[in-house]
Structure 1
Amino acid sequence: MVLTTVVCYLICWMPYGVVALLATFGSPGVVTPVASVIPSILAKSSTVCNPLIYIFMNKQVNL
């Protein structure tokens, strides 16, 4: 469960980090506003992923 949580965290936040670094250190205009929307939504979805991972992988939770 911990490994799944870490992988999900990285999948959700890595694109946002890459786009933020490109916007900060890359050439001007390399990241358009439209291209920055998807990493932002993915980063916000990290909040939803952790409870779902806990619910589906915990043996004590009976669905």
Structure 2
Amino acid sequence: MGEKEWDSCLWINFAEGTTPFFTLNWSKYVDFLTFHGGLDPLTRGLWLIDIAHHHLAIVILFRIAGH
């Protein structure tokens, strides 16, 4: 990954605030939640951003199930 790609992983762009999150327009957050899929060829593990994506999905499911 180049320096520019790392920056996009580290700095989250919330230009529209949390409105896209609550309106289910999650494509606005693609700058920090990418969906590489598969395994990282260097570490043979899941991509860190895919792990973050799965944790976010689990949190949403638990919030819905808790009500």
Please indicate the TM-score interval, normalised by the length of the shorter structure: 0.3 to 0.5
Higher relative contact order, chain-length normalized (CA < 8 Å, sep 6+): 1
> When you count helix as a share of all residues, which structure comes out higher?
1
Q: TM-score, normalised by structure 1?
A: 0.33
Provide the TM-score with structure 2 as the length reference: 0.32
Largest Rg, 1 or 2: 1
